[in-house]
Structure 1
Amino acid sequence: MFQIVDCIFSFLNLSADPVTFVKGALHQFLERTKEEFFSKVRNIMKEAANFCCGRMKDPYKPEGSMFIMVKLNMSLLEGINNDIDFTLKLAKEESVIAFRVLLPQLLANLFSYLFWTGTMVGMKNWVGLT
C-alpha cells in the first residue's frame, strides 16, 4: 500500500523546469542567436501591448513583461454571458490556450501560461493575459 502512495507522490513532484542538457545548452543558444531576433520579438510584444491597450478604457500598459488584467464589460460583448463563455469563444476563434483558475494559489503555477480567467481574489469577470 505504501509503495503505491509513494509512487503517486513521486508523480506529483514532477517539475516544469527544463532538463539539465537544455540548461547547459541555453547559454550557447543565446550567444548564437542574432540580435535581430531579439529586436523583432521586442517589437512584436510592443505592438501587441499597444494594440491591446489601445482598445481599452483606462488601461495599465505593461512595460516589463506582457501581462495585463482586464475587466470584461458584459454589456458590450454580444453573445457572451460571462468570463468562462468569453474564454471558450476566444480559445475557439483565436486558437489560444485558456485556463480558468479556481484557487488563487494556483495563479503562481499557471502564470507562465498564455491565458487564465475566472474569479480571482474576489474579482469577478476579470481576465488575465500574459
Structure 2
Amino acid sequence: DKVASVYEAPGFFLDLEPIPGALEALQEMNNMQDTEVFICTSPLTKYEHCVGEKYRWVENHLGPQFVERIILTRDKTVVLGDLLIDDKDTIRGQEETPSWEHILFTCCHNQHLALPSTKRRLLSWSDNWREIIDSKRGAGTVG
C-alpha cells in the first residue's frame, strides 16, 4: 500500500513537525497545579521504526523528562485519566466506557465530521484547551 510505505519508512515519525502551539500547551499543562500530563500514543502494526522514532521525537522536542510520560498502547481505552485529546474520531477497545472524556483534536482528516452535542472538539492549540481542563476540575483531578 502506497500510504503505508510512507508512514512505515525510516524517519517518518522522527521528521514530523510539531503541531503549532502543541509543545507550548503541553509544557503549560505540565506546569499546572494538580495536573498530570501523559502522551498516549499507538504504535503501528509494523512498528520497526515507529516506536523508537516516537520516543526520540518526544525527547528531541520536549526533553528526556517527557519520555517517562509516554504511554504506548494499541488500546487507549484501558488507560486511566480524565481527558484524552486525540485526532482519531472513534476510539474503541476493551473498555466500552473509558474513564476519560475524548476531546477530538481537529485536523485535516476529521474537520468535516459533525460531532454529537455531547462530544467536544479542540480546533487548535490556540483554542480553549484551558477551559476544557478547568471544566474537568469540578469533576475531579485532571490526569
- Scaled by the length of structure 1, the TM-score of the pair is 0.27
In our comparison, the structure showing a higher alpha carbon Rg is 1
Higher relative contact order (CA 8 A, sep 6+): 2
More helix as a share of residues: 1
- Scaled by the length of structure 2, the TM-score of the pair is 0.26
